[in-house]
Amino acid sequence: MKRTTSVLLYGLSFLGLMAVTWWVFNAGKTLEAFPIEALPATTPSQNQLSQTVMAALKHPLANFILQLILIIVASQVCARLFKKIGQPAVMGEIVAGILLGPSLMGSVLPGFSAFVFPVASLGNLQMLSQVGLILFMFVIGMELDMNMLKKRAGTAMFISYFSIIIPFALGITLSYFLYRQYAPANISFYAFALFMGIAMSITAFPVLARIIRERNLTDTKVGVTAITAAAVGDVAAWCMLAVIIALVKAGSINDSLYTLIPAVVYIAVMLLLVRPLLKRLATNSNNSTTMKRSVMAVIFVVLLLSAYCCEVIGIHALFGAFLAGIVMPDEWNFRKALIDKIEDVALVLLLPLFFVFTGLRTEIGLLNTSSLWICSGWIILAAVAGKFGGSALAARIAGESTKDSLTIGALINTRGLVELVVLNIGYDLHILSPQVFTMMVSMALVTTFMTNPIINLINRCF
């Protein structure tokens, strides 16, 4: 009985709707001020259909969605392949970005490459990749365990010190021979030299952490020493990079004080004012389950304000995101909850955009002379000698065994993703020319790729 009543009500309501619609349409005709002529019926030609389809495919939103699909699929495929050959997944994602650029796809399928990555879309790609980098640097800052830094601070500080100054010295020395022929026309030598020095000194802390985790070295003396030294080195390197950016943007050392003084005030505010407030926020949120979204909103506001202040001051938004991660409350459960919420979106969706944007800038074909390849070889040799050699030597002097010293050197020689971040900053500031950028990206890939094979070789030898 109920089903029959329902069917009857559906039918009557539908008929009523049709009747009302018919009456309103007929009454509405009287409102027309002039007669409407019917358009002649036409059959669209094949050419018109193809133009309509192409216009739809080239629409910015459709193009961006296609880019996302291609980038995510390529990143995941390459990540799986690289994990099978004993490399960290992030190496596969970095290589995927380069393969989608002019180095491979642009050369083999230039028409398809121009269709998927038109020049007009690169601005949107860059902006979203920067959002991904801001979230990523925030996560890196949170992953730094300050308590761990205190446990092995002495040895780690000693190793970290030499793992920075030796490659830094080699980098600025190398810049003397590269500057006249390969540096951009309007960049001063000191800016080019300082940036080359800091680019040689970077260790990819997140990639290193994943390698240590995958090799089950997390709770070993070697693993703790290496990751602590890398963490100390990254903090020091990013502070040095902030100073260098301030010098480059200001144009002179005197003018850079207008950037450095506000930067010091900003860091003091973050450490002395924001950090205690966030600690209180974390304490309150642990006692309540209804504040999770509001707490996340506060965290995001702090993160974005920190990045905004650094960008306005002139020391780059990424340093602000990194420092915002460092000043988060020390409670690991609180940090882990934040990392779990942010990491998947940042690493799976947004960060691959940065790899592809880097890949679009990296054109291996630019290294088209023997002299460029020789320069690239010297850069790789200097990078390995400075980072691997400097770290291993410092660890040996600090009392580590030969095997452990070499292992620590191999781990700290890892550059990877953070190196690409630094290189892109240099490219955006016009400190690096396209040729030097490509050579430095090659160095980052080689030094990261060699980490696991060298550790395996060390284990076999000892």
Give me the percent of the chain exceeding a pLDDT of 70.
90
Beta-carbon count within 10 A of 461 CB: 9
413 three-class SS: coil
- Alpha-carbon distance of 460 to 330, in angstroms, equals 39
pLDDT single digits (tens) 186-217: 888 988 999 999 999 888 777 787 788 778 78
CATH 3.30.70.360 fits 137-354+366-461, yes or no: no
127 three-class SS: helix
Is there a contact between 164 and 236 (Cβ–Cβ < 8 Å)? yes
Of the spans 235-239, 331-335, 345-349, 448-452, which averages the highest pLDDT?
A: 448-452
- Alpha-carbon distance of 385 to 412, in angstroms, equals 12
pLDDT single digits (tens) 285-308: 665 544 577 888 889 999 999 999
Q: Which residue has the higher pLDDT, 204 or 150?
A: 204
pLDDT, position 290:
47
pLDDT, position 385:
93
DSSP string, 237-254: HHHHHHHHHHHHHHSSHH
Ranges 40-49, 105-114, 192-201, 418-427: which has the least confidence: 40-49
pLDDT single digits (tens) 4-30: 888 888 888 888 889 888 888 888 777
> Which are the contacts of 161, defined by CB distance < 8 A and separation ≥ 6?
394
Q: Residue 404 phi/psi, 5° resolution?
A: -65, -35
Average pLDDT score over residue span 320-344: 84
What's the per-residue H, E or C state across 285-338?
Answer: HHCCCCCHHHHHHHHHHHHHHHHHHHHHHCCCHHHHHHHHHHCCCCCHHHHHHH
Chain mean pLDDT for the chain: 83
pLDDT, position 46:
63
pLDDT single digits (tens) 45-101: 667 767 777 777 778 888 889 988 998 899 889 989 988 888 878 788 888 888 888
Domain boundaries in the chain?
A: 137-354+366-461
The residue ranges of DSSP E strands in 3-154, in sequence order, are none
- The confidence band for 176, taking pLDDT boundaries of 50, 70 and 90, is very high
Query: What does the block give as tokens for 24?
Result: 């309103």
pLDDT, position 253:
64
pLDDT, position 246:
78
User: What is the separation of C-alpha 124 from the centre of its chain, rounded to a whole number of angstroms?
Assistant: 15
pLDDT, position 39:
52
Average pLDDT score over residue span 366-384: 90
Q: Which residue has the higher pLDDT, 250 or 427?
A: 427
